[in-house]
Structure 1
Amino acid sequence: MTVTVLMPFKDAARYLDQCVQSLNAQTHALFHVVAIDDGSVDDGAEILRKRLRRPLTLLSHAAPMGVSASLNHGLAHIESGLVVRMDADDIAHPRRIDALVEAMDVPSRPDAVFSWYRYIDSRGRALPTQPCPSAGIAQYAGDLLCIGNFISHPTVAFRRESLRDGYVTDSSAEDYATWLAHASTWQWAFTAENLLKWRLHSQNQSLMVPRDPGSLSEHLALCWESTGMSLDPQVLSAVISPAGNSLAVLLETDRTIGALVSRLRSTSPPAGAYAAAIHSQWQLRALLAASRDGRRSLVGALHRRGDTKGLLRAALLAGRRQVHARHRPSAP
Structure 2
Amino acid sequence: MRLCIGISFYNAGEFLDYAICSVLNQTYKNWKLLLLNDGSTDNSLDIAMKYQGDPRIEVLSDGENRGLIYRLNQLISLCESKYFVRMDADDIMHPLRLERQVSFMENNAHIDVLGSWAYSIDVTNKVCGILKVNSNPDSLMDVFSHSCFIHPSIMGKTSWFQEHQYDSSFVRMEDMELWARTILNSSFHNLQEPLLYYREIGVPYLRKYLQSMTGERILIRKIYGDAVSFIKYEKMMKTYIKSLIYIFFSLINGQKYLIRKRSCRVISFDYQCAMKELRDAIRR
Normalised to the residue count of structure 2, the TM-score between the two structures is 0.74
Q: Tell me the CA shift for residue 18 of structure 1.
A: 1.2
Q: Tell me the CA shift for residue 110 of structure 1.
A: 0.4
Task: Report the Cα distance in structure 2 between the residues aligned to 1:206 and 1:183, rounded to whole angstroms.
Answer: 28
Q: What is the identity percentage for the equivalent residue pairs of Structure 1 and Structure 2?
A: 21
- Conserved in 2, the CA contact under 8 Å of 1:221 and 1:231? no
Higher helix share: 1
* Change beyond 3 A, Cα 1:242–1:289: farther
Aligned pairs for 1:114-263 (under 5 A) are 114-130=115-131, 132=132, 137-140=135-138, 142-148=140-146, 150-164=148-162, 165-172=164-171, 173-200=173-200, 201-203=202-204, 208-210=209-211, 213=215, 216-221=219-224, 231=230, 233-239=232-238, 241-243=239-241
User: CA offsets, 1:88-125, max 9 Å, x none?
Assistant: 11111111111111121124420101101101101111
User: CA offsets, 1:235-289, max 9 Å, x none?
Assistant: 34234x124xxxxxxxxxxxxxxxxxxxxxxxxxxxxxxxxxxxxxxxxx37827
Secondary structure in 2 aligned to 1:62?
Answer: coil
Unaligned runs of 5+ in 1: 244-284, 292-312, 314-332
Task: Report the Cα distance in structure 1 between the residues aligned to 2:136 and 2:15, rounded to whole angstroms.
Answer: 31
Task: Report the Cα distance in structure 2 between the residues aligned to 1:27 and 1:161, rounded to whole angstroms.
Answer: 25
* Change beyond 3 A, Cα 1:67–1:22: same
Determine the structure 1 residue equivalent to 2:245. Answer: 288
Task: Report the Cα distance in structure 2 between the residues aligned to 1:58 and 1:120, rounded to whole angstroms.
Answer: 27
Higher strand share: 2
User: CA offsets, 1:171-206, max 9 Å, x none?
Assistant: 111111111111111111111122111111434699
Task: Report the Cα distance in structure 1 between the residues aligned to 2:66 and 2:204, rounded to whole angstroms.
Answer: 16
Secondary structure in 1 aligned to 2:116?
Answer: strand
Q: Tell me the CA shift for residue 138 of structure 1.
A: 0.8
* Change beyond 3 A, Cα 1:286–1:45: closer
Q: Tell me the CA shift for residue 141 of structure 1.
A: 5.0
- Conserved in 2, the CA contact under 8 Å of 1:11 and 1:44? yes
- How many residues are paired up? 242
- Conserved in 2, the CA contact under 8 Å of 1:180 and 1:219? no
Task: Report the Cα distance in structure 2 between the residues aligned to 1:238 and 1:54, rounded to whole angstroms.
Answer: 51
Secondary structure in 2 aligned to 1:189?
Answer: strand
* Change beyond 3 A, Cα 1:140–1:68: same
Task: Report the Cα distance in structure 2 between the residues aligned to 1:152 and 1:181, rounded to whole angstroms.
Answer: 17
State the one-letter code of the partner of 1:153. Answer: H
Task: Report the Cα distance in structure 2 between the residues aligned to 1:206 and 1:34, rounded to whole angstroms.
Answer: 28
User: CA offsets, 1:189-244, max 9 Å, x none?
Assistant: 1111221111114346996133552852245438xx9xxx95565334234x124x
Unaligned runs of 5+ in 2: 249-260, 262-284
Task: Report the Cα distance in structure 2 between the residues aligned to 1:157 and 1:48, rounded to whole angstroms.
Answer: 22
Determine the structure 2 residue equivalent to 1:55. Answer: 56
Aligned pairs for 1:22-41 (under 5 A) are 22-41=22-41
Task: Report the Cα distance in structure 2 between the residues aligned to 1:128 and 1:46, rounded to whole angstroms.
Answer: 32
Task: Report the Cα distance in structure 1 between the residues aligned to 2:20 and 2:247, rounded to whole angstroms.
Answer: 43
- Conserved in 1, the CA contact under 8 Å of 2:97 and 2:196? yes
- Between stretches 56-65 and 181-190, larger displacement belongs to 56-65
- Conserved in 2, the CA contact under 8 Å of 1:103 and 1:189? no
Secondary structure in 1 aligned to 2:211?
Answer: coil
- Conserved in 2, the CA contact under 8 Å of 1:72 and 1:167? yes
Q: Tell me the CA shift for residue 160 of structure 1.
A: 1.1
* Change beyond 3 A, Cα 1:139–1:91: closer
